[in-house]
Structure 1
Amino acid sequence: MKKLLSILAMLGAALLSTHVVAEENVHLDEAPNRTADLVSLQRGARLFVNYCLNCHSATAMRYSRLRDIGLTDKEIEDNLLFSTDKVGNPMTVAMRAQDAKEWFGVAPPDLSVEARARGADWIYTYLRSFYKDDTRPTGWNNAVFQNVGMPHVLWQLQGVRTPKFEDSTDENGEVQHRIIGFQQVTPGTMSPNDYDEAVADLTSYLVWMAEPAAKERKQIGAWVLLFLGLLSFFAWRLNAAYWKDVK
């Protein structure tokens, strides 16, 4: 058992170090936190169902949980139920993992807790960093996740962009070819500012979906800490009263 735990620990460290090396030079923009804004979460849920749920599932999330962001069953049924006919069903996709791997090179990950795994800033920057790359099978690449297998599903909203590169020499004398910005080739249906706002809504929804009970958990946690503080105070005074006559 100890040997197995050691192996798992080494594998985890290796994966973590690879992740850090791959992304240590990528600047991540700070994602707006709108998890308390129900209107924003509703817009994000609509974007998620219309654009993400075609390939990515969220099996740990049920449509009925969308009631927590102010949607009624009628609104969910009329606007968000495309892959199932019951509000109580989980958010799954019809596409088989085997087919997805054949088409994209890798099966799209389940997005139930992707925001907790990647972080809001990573998702927010990633969804705003796609660019046209005809050398890729999908025709798209990403500045945050180079050679990504995912196509730019939001390209109609953002439009088509190409990257601006800059060459620099590192401390070892090797030339680094890095992206310093983007050039808009064709406009999207949204302005750049509106697109950033939409991605902020989608990111906030993904963060909320990763832990829908986060707000309640924090509230309960505050009361628990208050209770433990009071309990500690009374225990301290009781202990002092019990031992005051003991010499």
Structure 2
Amino acid sequence: MTTSPAAQGHVGELLRDWRLRRNLSQLDLANRADVSTRHLSYVETGRSRPTSAMVLRLCAHLDVPLREQNQILLAAGFAPAHPEHALSDPPMAEANAALEAILAAHHPYPALVVDRHWELVAANEAAFALLDGVDPDLLEPPVNVLRVSVHPRGLAPRIANLDEWRAQLAVRLRREHDATGDRALRELADEIAGDLDLLPASAALVVPLQLRAGDAVLSFISTTTVFGTPREVTLSELAIEAFYPADEVTRQALTGPPR
């Protein structure tokens, strides 16, 4: 089991780690949070114990994820401020209904919902259709969609631009690790990249997923959607990955020829 930096250490060390991760000086953060640099220094060195309100204020200006904010509050001796529920829990009914509606509305194009570690939460029928030929063992929960995409018994044999796809996934995961401090994301990035050398930049505006389907190659571009201003841990960590045709061949394969 991996833990984030906020799982260990006293509150001042954790806040300092996040400040350094965001490349901010004490003066920068003090000005943003409207506190004195002396007080911030005392908090970081453990000479002053911050209030829960101060912890949350500093976390907000450091863009600390909600899960890690709760851990920092615990380190400071306070109760977590942000609730966490399973999607099946009653308080999440409206959010769960919204996710299902988005997935259904995106058909006939593929769309899926993933958590912070890219494990599958939900998907529409078009997304499941792309998994034809994947080893059933790889589809036993929990399903990590990125591992499935690059696994030799997953989608890898059907991805026409596999090296380019793997490289951009690794870059994205490392960027997410830098933003969240979640070591599991860095480990997943290293696993996916393997011994792959960094590929030269392509002239394409985006890196498509090029998937062989019979004699054709389906090409998709993707967008990511998250909940706006979430105050709940689970919702803050969910993302909807929606795929769109990158060319007319793919569009017609999914929707049929224009009438």
Structure-1-length-normalised TM-score: 0.23
- Over alpha carbons, which structure has the higher Rg? 1
Higher relative contact order (CA 8 A, sep 6+): 1
